[in-house]
Structures are given as C-alpha cells and as structure tokens.
Amino acid sequence: MTSPRLPEGRSPGPDTPRRGMKRQRLRSALLKMSPGQLILITLFVITALVVIAIRYLPWWLLLAIVLGIGLLLRYGIPLLLKQLLTLPFRAKGQALAGATIQVHSLKPAPFPSAKDSEQHYWDAEDLARYQEMDWYFLDVSIAPPLNRSEGFRLWEPGELLLIPASVRGNSLESLDCDEVAIHDYRVFDGAFKEDMQGKYDGAKRLLLHLGAKPEVKQVVFRYYLERFGEVDLKV
C-alpha cells in the first residue's frame, strides 16, 4: 500500500494558515505606527473611496451622500461627543439616583470663614458672591434607594450641590449656578465631625453650611446629573 501523497506546494508539519500569519504581521505593523501615520492612511483610504464613488455612482446618490455627511458632521458628531462626555457623570450620579432626604432642621447661620471650609479655597470672587447670600445650617439625612443593584454605589458628600428648584433639567449646563453655595459640611457619627472617610454606601446624615441669594426660596440637591430632594428655605 502506498502512503498518501501531500498536495504539491505543501510540506508536512503543523497546519498554520498563512492568512493568520499575514493578519498578525499587519496588526503588529499598525501598532508600531505613529498617530500621524495612521491619520494619513485613513485619509488616503477615504480619498480612494471618494474617487471610486465619483467615478461609479450616479450624481443623485453622490449628492445624497454629501448631504448625509454634512448633516452628520453638523448634528450627529456634536451630539455623540456630548453623550460620550456625560457618560462618566451619569455613571457616578447613579449612586444617588432616586435618593430621598429627611430634613431634621434648618437654622440661620453666621457668615462663613475661609478658615473653616473643607470644600474648597475661596477667593475675592467667592467673597463677593457670598456677601449677597443668606446663610443657613441644614441638618439633613440623604438615603440612596435600597434596591440598587448595578453601577456605582459609593457616593461622596463633598460632590453634592444645591441649585434653585426653579432651574429645570439635569444637563451639565444647569450645574453652573451662582445663586446657591455649600461652603462646608460635616458628617454625623455620634456627633457632627469632619469627613475623614469621603465615600459612603448607604444613608448618611450631614450638616451643611449653605448660602442662597434672598430671592431663592427653594433648593434641590444635585449629584452630578441626578436631581433629588427639595428643601424650603424658610426659617
């Protein structure tokens, strides 16, 4: 009995496809390229596709493609970029999505001092803005929903904001508010103390030193893009 013959052009040994080796070499070559080289290659490919389209496609289809690209650049790309930019804010805000509050007390407070703020360093611009505000101590408990199962669970009191209840929407632009400010806060652990932990999973009681312009009668909490908990500023 004669042994089976191998097809011409093939040798015995492991069957390693040549196409796989070529793809691996191409992938390695692309990884070694600089961003400028990749951009040039991309532009070359786009130019080649445009030339082929001009040569073989009817004029009306070319016009439709140009209009579609124009609309995509004008509306689609900015919208996509905005959605991508807000993804981290939406993800972190989920920790307090649907949170509830319990107001224990609201009392008048003295004008803040720059030395007692754990929130931020404040300058002459802050001082001018603060002098236009009425000041309060707000004793409040914040409780995330009990049925949270996915996403971020830890939340940071130092990232809380208060905005006028009249400001609608939950966009990033609505966070740009000069009418209300949280100057400082304390967390309750037997007594109100400085926040040494920073992040919490679950309900927490806080004492906020907040200011609001006299025309602001109601405020709501904002945690990134999440909105919850309305408070009446009536002492």
Residues 101 and 60 in one domain: no
3-state SS track over 139-152 = EEEEECCCCCCCCC
Domain boundary among 92, 123, 141: 92
Residues 62 and 140 in one domain: no
Burial of 162 (0-12, 13-18, 19+ CB in 10 A): buried
- For position 35, what pLDDT does the model report? 59
Residues 227 and 128 in one domain: yes
| pLDDT tens per residue across span 73-103 | 676 666 666 656 666 767 788 888 889 999 9
- For position 57, what pLDDT does the model report? 75
Residues 70 and 172 in one domain: no
Categorize the per-residue pLDDT at 171 as very low, low, confident or very high, splitting at 50, 70 and 90: low
Domain boundary among 92, 108, 133: 92
Residues 44 and 116 in one domain: no
Number of domains forming the structure of the chain: 2
Domain boundary among 92, 110, 142: 92
Residues 105 and 48 in one domain: no
Asked whether residue 176 is domain-assigned, the answer is yes
Q: Give the Cβ contact number of residue 181 at 10 Å.
A: 22
- For position 7, what pLDDT does the model report? 46
Residues 100 and 25 in one domain: no
Residues 78 and 192 in one domain: no
Asked whether residue 63 is domain-assigned, the answer is yes
| Domain span holding position 69 | 18-92
Residues 118 and 188 in one domain: yes
- Mean pLDDT throughout 149-169? 84
| pLDDT tens per residue across span 25-44 | 655 555 556 656 666 777 78
Q: Smallest Cα–Cα separation from 178: which of 145, 152, 211?
A: 211
Q: Smallest Cα–Cα separation from 184: which of 99, 91, 88, 112?
A: 112
Residues 198 and 117 in one domain: yes
The residue type at 195: D
Asked whether residue 8 is domain-assigned, the answer is no
Asked whether residue 34 is domain-assigned, the answer is yes
Asked whether residue 66 is domain-assigned, the answer is yes
- For position 162, what pLDDT does the model report? 93
Residues 33 and 145 in one domain: no
- For position 2, what pLDDT does the model report? 47
Residues 22 and 102 in one domain: no
Which range scores top for mean pLDDT: 112-126, 150-164, 166-180? Answer: 150-164
